[in-house]
Amino acid sequence: MKSYLEILDELFLIKDEKFRCFNEKIACIPQGESIGVRMPDLRNYAKCLSASSDFSFDRLLTFPNRYFEIRVLKCLCVGSFKVPYEVLCQNIARVMPVVDGWAVCDAFCSSLRGIRQHKEKFYQEIEHYIRQGSEFSQRFAYRMLLGYYMEKSYLPKIFTCLDQAHTQYYYTHMGAAWLIAEVLVCFFEEGVSYLKNGTIEGKTKNKAIQKARESDRLTIEQKNYLKSLKNG
């Protein structure tokens, strides 16, 4: 497999300096700790790297985590590397320590499309990451629920997970709000019932209402009703 320095050299060849400056601001990356590779290019790179005959996930995990793109690359390779389900779950757990920001987390979750074939089993993993209670373990769980479980039959499980949100953490709070907002857009009555009866903190309910009201998938009447449910 390519060395860390070889991979860095290849990533620097496809960097975009303007994008680096922009992305460091929106993703809260310390200046100089990213390369500036756009996400579609990084996804393609991860797909090619993980498909190579000498690819080693074990070796990839040993690479330093200084650069944002290396952390994301490790996460993307989890999703693109073809392994049995049980190994996939192990690899998710092994890479979770590098998930240190919303951009890494959300790129990771969107790459795990293989979970669609194992949703019922993987829900146990989601419960595990909810129980861990850290900022990004919970955001990971909420982002996975939003991306792969937005079905009426899963709403009771979604609400159970939301009631355990540690919303003192900003990115947990935002992830939970985003999930509630999507429930409101897709299943308005059930979402409203959760706003009224769920135990999640008021600030997160208010943020969810704000995000739902920004959607063009709700009617004016629905948006006005949601506004009436805001706390304070």
pLDDT per position as a tens digit, 30-69: 999 999 999 999 999 999 999 999 999 999 999 999 999 9
* pLDDT score at 139: 98
- Is residue 159 a contact partner of residue 149, using CB atoms and an 8 Å limit? no
Question: Are residues 155 and 102 located together in one domain of the fold?
Answer: no
Alpha-carbon span 125 to 185, nearest angstrom: 26
**Residues of the chain below pLDDT 70:** 232
Say yes or no: 101 and 142 in one domain: no
CA dihedral 185, 215, 112, 189 (to 10 degrees): -10
118 within a domain of the structure (yes/no): no
pLDDT score for 231:
83
Contacts of 202 (CB under 8 A, 6+ apart): 231, 232
Number of domains in the chain: 2
pLDDT given at position 77: 97
Domain that holds residue 16: 1-111
